[in-house]
Structure 1
Amino acid sequence: MTKIFDLAQIEALTLELQAHDEAALKEACAESQAINALVEHEITDNPHFKLGVPNCPTSVQLSYLLDSSFIKRRLSKICHRERLRKEAISKSIGGKGPVSYCSDDTLDFIRDGDKKNEIFLKNRQVIVKETGESINLLDLQKNKSKNKFNETYFIVKNLESIAQEQSFLPFMLTLTAPAKFHPNPLKGRCAFDAYSTTDSQTYLRKEWARFRAYLAKIGVPMSLQFCFGLRTAELHRDGCVHWHLVLFINPAILATFQAALASRFSSTQADIISIDGCSTSTYALKYILKSVDLDDLPIDYTDQDRTVDELRKENDLSTVTDASRVRAGIRAMSIRQVQYYGINSSLTKFRMLNKITEQAESFPPDIRKILDDCRINPRNGQPKNLVAYKNFLQMYSEALELIHEETINKHGLQGNKIIGIRFIASNYEYITKDKYEIVTSKPKQQQSEAPQLSTGEISSTATAVTLISIYPRRAEHPNPKKIDRPTASELLKQAKLSNPERYMTAYISINATKALTETLNDMQISKLMSMI
């Protein structure tokens, strides 16, 4: 039997499907345009939420905007900036007033953040895969100040040794922002004309970058050949930032350096003095101390220390006894308190090299030589290598390179992270990314509920840890039908018990003769919010 096709019907159906596809495409384009416009509008009205990534895809920016933790971090920065602005305008910090360096609110905010961080770290462990050793992250955090102080002082000692070998001259350079960045100076009249004290750091950072670029342009860039050192950021009593730089300068370019400095900074902004009478590392010690949490270091203040601190405070400088306030103010501005110059970003490679925990004898001879010369802890019973960083800078800095791996975070943003180090001569690669795992401890209640195992049976959760993946993973969404939720009558009963005043208000009573005209006060609003 011959089947007859209705060509007209087929053509009509085809046209209908094409029209449907075109409509769906237009709808998708319109939706995409609407989302792009929404994201653009949001970051235009709230530039603090814009990612500092060139050509950032809209989908990535939108994902960040929907991430509560990202919004919380950005809001914290906004709160810090606006609080610092309010303090600057009201002149509540510095001058001859009782509060110096930062407000009590800023200090309390930083301390509260540290306490929350301690709770988070307390339930996390680092597992060393090589040995199976488990180290609590909070214990590592408690040693952070000690380790940071030791590393900074160790680096300064090594830089000082290099400078002495090359007959470089040690100097202390103090950079201060102009008067318009000082909201409440101890001396002189106030000429404050900035948004907040944070702008003083922005000014110093930009001007110092221009100065370094000028040195490079005239042929004397900051390097081991001409000039190198470190800087620490501190605060005046009114919260304005100033820098202290310990610099080792080649005598051959000293006149050029000073002339360049005078051409870029006024005499009131830049004060450079020669370090005499003691070693450079000893001179820099008081500045290093103020960059770490002194509560974690075994330091005793003498009467002489307190006298020196009082003199520094009278000269509008930071003090060791007020280091916690200085650090809180610095952290509120998101400033790196210690930074190095002239060492070509070699510190990261040096740290990666010191993450190699195996015995040097297990490596080829050329790599073994580098490890023997550049590891602080030889791991063979020998004493610490106190010139490890000096050896690395002078002989091996260019013999190694970092290994990077491309990554994509949970928001879809591409990036890269350091996963190891490569010895260029032999092309030998040492990967560190799989040496450690970060895990979270299960609560004790959950551990006690674990089923009892028979003799000889080993539980896979015996260590009571849950792996935290460093890669994005899909969240598990619970079934709403299986969640026990209170009924409407139970919710009304809770509302009546917790907030009877608002519960008894006739919001929608048809018999009400008088409408409510009074505005809710702050306490009533808080009570309502507590019911959400």
Structure 2
Amino acid sequence: MAVGKCRQLFAHYELGELQFTDYEILKRLSDERFWQRRLRHKSNEALAETERALHLVSSRRGLYCGDKTFENFEESLLKSQEFLERTLLVSADGESVNLAEVSEHTIANPDVLFAEWMVRIRGFEQVADYQGHVGVMITLSTPSRMHPILKASGKPNPKFDGTSPKQANEYLNHVWQLIRAKFSRSEIAPYGMRVAEPNHDGTPHWHILLFVEPDKLKHLKRIVKRYAMQDSPNEKGATKYRTHFVDIDRERGSAAGYLAKYIAKNINGIKGAREGDAGRRSAARRTRAWASAHGIRKFAQIGGPSVTVWRELRRLSHSVKDETLEELRLAADSSNWAAFCIAMGGFGGTSKRDIHPVYSSSSIDEQAHELANLNQYGEPRRPRVIGLRNALFGVLTRYKKWYWMSKSPQPRDGVGMLY
């Protein structure tokens, strides 16, 4: 009875789904930190939506998000950095490393994330050249009723219906699902990247870079146009602004160059050598604040092989006996996404190579660290990636178990979470 009521309240106040058993829910509802996390996320989202509703988000006020939302995001980044700097990762054999140092070399670092996305975009472009495919940049926008501010005048939009950025992004995602389903029925298998970014008033739009066979390009465009225009097709400007296509002309620039500015704008503000441009970095941080407040995933790969397999192979510093895995490892180790795609044997669709991650169980197998195999509610932790498998051959990519330990004067009780 009580659990059922809690599920209803969580749904009513949009505090997130409770995808747990009744017993697990009761344990979480008794935990102050569980409530804090849910309420903090919801309050951040509510603040961002309120600032937008009050017309505090626009090119004339707070670009992409309200100033208070941006201030809260910057504060959270500082707190996260403080946590990283006062935290150690400790292995079972006693090796230790500062978590902040580790973070600098992962995709948690915006510059590293930017570099990885650019490697994959250039790789897809090389694959397209190899296959004789063509590229197209698609901009997919929402109906005008989802925009609170008119861009030209900066005045409130009388047609605005109160759609939040999250709801607008869900609308775009739904349209894209319909498009992809039609692609599948039409035997069109494009591959590429998608970037979700905010308009000046916080309403999202998507930039999508796709590669496809030349004879299927026109049909692809017709499909995108058809589904993008299903909502409010007769409104003023719909035909002109709802979708926009730019065919990639290699004589004028690379496909990677077309998308690079959008990726930079939404990660670190850097494009080319303009690393000293403080304005670009500030705008990029505001897009990150916007995405964080509204729970919007900004980047997604379309088609192509598994990124998890790619990242796990890059962890290996030695050769492996399996011929296929070694070929893939060499491609990944040299940051050659194109060679990796070719070695995986597929373009634009599913991989023809049965290479998949191997996950460990969370069973308690070490008495000294048995607390680290359980979460704060005494439940086994989720399985984690430990290696890769090709048919009957497997290879470990993670040799050590790491646990975090606070360097602060008041460390938390017990052993930290498994890394």
Structure 2 length as normaliser, TM-score? 0.81
Distance 1:414 1:252 in 2: 52
Structure 1 residues 170 and 46: CA distance shift in structure 2, 3 A: same
| Secondary structure in structure 1 of the residue aligned to 2:44 | helix
Equivalents in 1 of 2:355, 2:185: separation in Å?
28
What CA distance in whole angstroms lies between the structure 1 residues aligned with 2:417 and 2:290?
A: 34
Partner Cα separation in structure 2 for residue 231 and residue 125 of structure 1: 35
| CA deviation after TM superposition for structure 1 residue 264, in Å | 0.4
Partner secondary structure for residue 159 of structure 2: coil
Match of 2:263 in 1: 288
| Corresponding position of 2:330 | 373
Q: Does residue 170 of structure 2 align to residue 202 of structure 1?
A: yes
What amino acid sits opposite 2:242 in the alignment? Q
Q: Distance in 2 between matches of 1:141 and 1:191?
A: 45
Mapping 1:191-230, distance limit 5 Å: 191-220=159-188, 226-230=189-193
Q: Could you list the per-position Cα deviations for residues 4-28 of structure 1 after superposition, in whole angstroms to 9, with x for gaps in the alignment?
A: xxxxxxxxxxxxxxxxxxxxxxxxx
* Cross-structure match for 1:108: 71
What is aligned with 1:235?
198
Quickly say closer, same or farther: Cα 1:168–1:371, change in 2 above 3 A.
Answer: closer
C-alpha contact 1:403 1:420 (8 A) present in aligned 2: yes
Given that residues 402 and 418 in structure 1 are in contact (C-alpha distance below 8 angstroms), is that contact kept between their aligned partners in structure 2? no
Instruction: Provide, for residues 176-200 of structure 1, a one-character-per-residue CA deviation record: whole Å limited to 9, x for no partner.
Output: 1111211112137431113422211
Whole-Å Cα distance in 2 between the matches of residues 129 and 355 of structure 1? 19
Q: Separation in 2 of the partners of 1:366 and 1:165?
A: 23
User: Counterparts of 1:208 and 1:235 in 2: how far apart (Å)?
Assistant: 17
- Residue matched to 1:51: 17
Deviation, 1:126, is 3.2
Local SS of the residue matching 2:129 = helix
Match runs of 1:446-485 below 5 Å: 467-470=415-418
Is residue 313–residue 329 contact of structure 2 (8 Å, CA) maintained in 1?
no
Cα distance in 2 between the residues matched to 1:410 and 1:467: 10
Compared with structure 1, are the counterparts of its residues 190 and 435 closer, same or farther at alpha carbon in structure 2 (3 Å cutoff)? farther
Instruction: Verify: 1:339 aligned to 2:300, yes or no.
Output: yes
The match for 1:515 is none
The residue type paired with residue 356 of structure 2 is: E
Where does structure 1 lack aligned partners over 5 or more consecutive residues? 1-36, 221-225, 307-318, 378-383, 447-465, 472-532
Matches within 5 A, 1:133-212: 134-143=96-105, 144-187=109-152, 189-212=157-180
Q: Whole-Å Cα distance in 2 between the matches of residues 75 and 387 of structure 1?
A: 43
Moved more, 62-71 or 162-171: 62-71
Q: Deviations over 1:436-489 (max 9, x none)?
A: 41332544799xxxxxxxxxxxxxxxxxxx852539xxxxxxxxxxxxxxxxxx
CA distances 1:46-99 after superposition (whole Å, capped 9, x unpaired): 32345352xx3211122222222221121122112222332232222116x332
Residues 197 and 275 of structure 1: CA distance in aligned 2, closer, same or farther (over 3 Å) = same
Provide the rounded CA distance (Å) in 2 between the counterparts of 1:205 and 1:414.
Answer: 33
Query: Per chain length, whose mean CA-contact separation is higher, i.e. which structure has more relative contact order (CA < 8 Å, sep 6+)?
Result: 2
Residue 71 of structure 1 corresponds to 35
- Which residue identity does 1:323 align to in structure 2? A
Letter in 1 for 2:168: S
Aligned pair 1:431/2:396, yes or no?
A: yes
Tell me the residue number matched to 1:329. 290
Task: Please tell me whether the aligned partners of residues 94 and 185 of structure 1 are also in contact (alpha carbons under 8 angstroms).
Answer: no
The Cα shift of 1:386 comes to 6.7
- CA-CA distance at 1:136 after TM superposition: 1.6
Q: Of 193, 205, 214, which residue of structure 2 is paired with 1:251? A: 214
Deviation digits for residues 241-261 of structure 1 (CA, Å, limit 9, x no counterpart) = 111111112112112212211
Q: Indicate whether 1:401 and 2:401 are aligned.
A: no
Q: Which amino acid aligns with 1:217?
A: R
Q: Is the 8 A contact 1:403 1:421 kept in 2?
A: yes
Query: Mean alpha-carbon deviation: is it higher for 69-78 or for 100-109?
Result: 69-78
1:355 to 286, 309, 315: 315
Amino acid corresponding to residue 137 of structure 1 in structure 2: L
Contact 2:52 2:66 (8 Å CA) reproduced: no
Rg larger in structure: 1
1:145, 1:294 within 8 Å by CA — same for their partners in 2?
Answer: no
Aligned equivalent of 1:273: 246
Q: Distance in 1 between matches of 2:119 and 2:142?
A: 30
Whole-Å separation in 2 of the counterparts to 1:157 and 1:150:
11
Paired residues of 1:290 and 1:327 also in contact (CA < 8 A): no
Determine if contact 1:124/1:440 at 8 Å carries over to the other structure: yes
2:291·2:298 contact (CA, 8 Å) conserved in 1?
yes
Q: Quick check: 1:155–1:389 contact (8 Å CA) kept in 2?
A: no
How many residue pairs get aligned? The number is: 382
